[in-house]
Amino acid sequence: MFTKYIFFFLSILALYSALMVLMSKKPIHSVLYLTLTFFAIAGHYVLLNAQFLAVVHVIVYAGAIMVLFLFTVMLLNLNKEEVSPKPLWIKTVVIIAGGTLMIVLIGIFRGYDIAIKTDPFLTQIGLVKNLGRVLYKDYLLPFELSSILFLTAMVGAVLLGKKEQI
């Protein structure tokens, strides 16, 4: 199938750019690679017939959050390549924490039945009409509660960023 090749292309792109986020020397390059990762994942959503999720993913992550990231990194002027060697105890802690996370992930996937029950290319749940029906009928309360959570976070950020009134 044609979609299979697209799947492999997108997966390789996502993994490569995710690795490059960690390995690039310049912070700006890391941010741009992260954006590329988001695009590859949006492509996966399209393959799963979840167009709405794909487009919202691009609008929110690539279009808003990553632009703000880029903005901040540009203003901070982190361009100078200063690699300060971290002390040994930090390295040890990082390795232990990361290794534990990896063990947890492997444990999850070992116990999980990965075999796909339905054909992902034919499922209709990702189309905007069905998604809207599910969100506003079956999960109305959690949906509205999470929007209130976002609003609270926004108000909090504005309050924290505001200068003291004289």
Report if residue 24 touches another protein, rule: CB under 8 A.
no
CB of 52 to another protein, least distance (A): 6
Burial (0-12, 13-18, 19+ Cβ within 10 Å), 63: middle
Is residue 48 near another protein by the rule CB under 8 A? no
Q: What is the H or E stretch that residue 57 is in?
A: helix 51-57
Give me the residue label for tokens 């361009």.
Answer: 79
Whether the CB-CB separation of 84 and 92 falls below 8 Å is answered with no
Among 68, 76, 108, 115, binds another protein (CB under 8 A): 68
Q: Which stretch binds another protein (CB under 8 A): 3-11, 14-22, 121-129, 144-152?
A: 121-129
CB 24 within 8 A of CB 30: yes
Question: What's the min distance (Å) between Cβ of 109 and another protein?
Answer: 31
- C-beta of 116 vs 148, nearer to another protein: 148
Nearer CB in complex with another protein: 14/33: 33
The tokens describing 102, both together, are 């990896």
